[in-house]
Amino acid sequence: MKDKNIHEGHRERLRKKFDADPEMRAMLDHEVVEYILSLVIPRKDTNEIAHNLMEKFGSMHGLLTATPKELKE
């Protein structure tokens, strides 16, 4: 029996979560970042990138006020 990919359908579940909450009030910060990244980085798992960004910048405010240079790093 082939193991099921636990990430299968993740992007669709995230999209449905956004559709149900377009103001993103119930979404966790890393989910908001992941959703936005999924719009600009097609066909790539953006979950890890979102978690890494939130860890590096500490908050949505830290991420959104980061300089382009800081984001590239």
pLDDT of residue 15: 85
pLDDT reported for residue 7: 64
- DSSP letter for each residue of 2-70: PPPPTTTTHHHHHHHHHHH-TT-SSS-HHHHHHHHHHHHSTTS--HHHHHHHHHHH-SHHHHHT--HHH
pLDDT tens by residue, 24-49? 888 999 999 999 999 999 888 899 99
Task: Please tell me the predicted confidence (pLDDT) of residue 18.
Answer: 86
pLDDT of residue 45: 85
* pLDDT interval class at 5 (50, 70, 90): low
Question: Shortest CA distance to 27 belongs to which of 38, 17, 16, 39?
Answer: 17
